[in-house]
Amino acid sequence: MKELLVISGKGGTGKTSVTASFAALAKNAVFADCDVDAADLYLLFDIETIKKEEFYSGTEPAIIQDKCDQCSICYDLCKFDAIGKTLDSKGKVKFEVKPFSCEGCGVCIDNCPISAIKEMDRLCGHIYLSKTQYGTLSHAKLLPGGENSGKLVSAVRKQAHVFASEHGAEWLLIDGSPGIGCPVIASVTGVDRVLLVTEPTVSGIHDLERVFQLCKHFKVPIYVCVNKFDLNIKNTDWIKNYTIENNETWIGTIPYDNSVTDAQNLGIPVVNLPKSLAGESIKEMWAKIKTDTGEIK
Ligand code: SF4
Ligand code: SF4
């Protein structure tokens, strides 16, 4: 199985459109949406949930109401105004933790004189395995305020990997997070190739250099493509030269093309639109990647 990760230095460069198109073009593939903060790959597929599991990360305090004697110590000590004080139906004071305000510092737990606050695992979201018209998708949805660390990315990726291995998939295509933080590191480690999707802007170049160094650090071979290349040919040439000078693989360009937005509005990969210039460019890139990765076992 070949693992290809698609990432970018920042959001909005078109990486999900590229990943969804590769998914439509690949045969016998499993997909993972590791951009868990903005998981939108599923929007371009018809999905049917096969499996849904809860994802817990970190802890949060919970007040045991039957035990609490309303001394107010936790309320007075919390620096984040994360303990709410209300009156119940009988006019009795009630203290409750406000989950969106709580920073998990543990001061309330340590200072409750009668141990009426317990530490609970924090439910941050759900992990899904879904059937699509192109193959199976592993993805996640964070709850509002749910914390994303590399742990959720690793869980999504692991689920995809296990499913792909068990079903003899030829490809594992991963839509990664933007940036260079923990979620990206959790996506990059151990993949066969990374495709960096960037734009020919000054910030695009800056972000590209940072992600480039990250991939180099993990010794993962890199493909580079420039989306909307015709917005600035000079910067596109700079990125191409930078890629080649660093002994990595230049894989191609995608023109600025309104059909990408049309495809998003229709909820389909852009390669499925007839006469799409962007779609044709992505098909050429996929053909190059297939040829180049032919030797990966
Ligand atoms: S410190 Fe403990 S007993 Fe006092 S109000 Fe808070 S939870 Fe209740
Ligand atoms: S853990 Fe800290 S932030 Fe959260 S409610 Fe307790 S004292 Fe406040």
Q: Which residues of 24-45 are buried (b: 16+ CB within 10 A; e: fewer)?
A: bbbeebbbbbbbbbebebbebb
What pLDDT score was predicted for residue 196? 94
* pLDDT < 70 stretches in the chain: 148-149, 295-297
Residue 159: strand, helix, or coil: helix
Q: Are 9 and 177 in contact (CB under 8 A)?
A: no
Q: How far is CA 290 from CA 19, 137, 145, 284, in A?
A: 14, 20, 39, 10
d(CA 237, CA 29): 33
What pLDDT score was predicted for residue 296?
Answer: 52
> Separation of 125 CA from ligand 2 center, angstroms?
21
Collapsing DSSP states into helix, strand and coil, what is residue 239? helix
Q: The whole model's pTM is what? A: 0.85
Atom of ligand 2 nearest to the CA of 61: 1
For residue 114, how far is its CA from the centre of ligand 1 (angstroms)?
7
Q: How far is CA 125 from the centre of its chain?
A: 13
Domains and CATH numbers, the chain: 2-46+132-295 (3.40.50.300), 57-123 (3.30.70.20)
Q: Is 61 in the pocket of ligand 2 (CB under 6 A)?
A: yes
Best mutation site among 107, 118, 119, 147 for ligand 2, i.e. most ligand atoms within 8 A of its Cβ?
Answer: 107
Distances, alpha carbon 55 to alpha carbons 32, 52, 269, in Å: 16, 10, 29
The response to whether residue 108 sits with its C-beta less than 6 Å from ligand 2 reads yes
CB 211 within 8 A of CB 7: yes
Measuring from atom 2 of ligand 2, which residue has the nearest CA?
Answer: 105
Cβ of 93 below 6 Å from ligand 1: no
**To the nearest 10°, the Cα dihedral for 163, 266, 277, 200?**
-80
Residue 292 is predicted with a pLDDT of 86
The DSSP string of 3-38 is EEEEE-SSTTSSHHHHHHHHHHH-SSEEEEE--GGG
pLDDT reported for residue 198 = 93
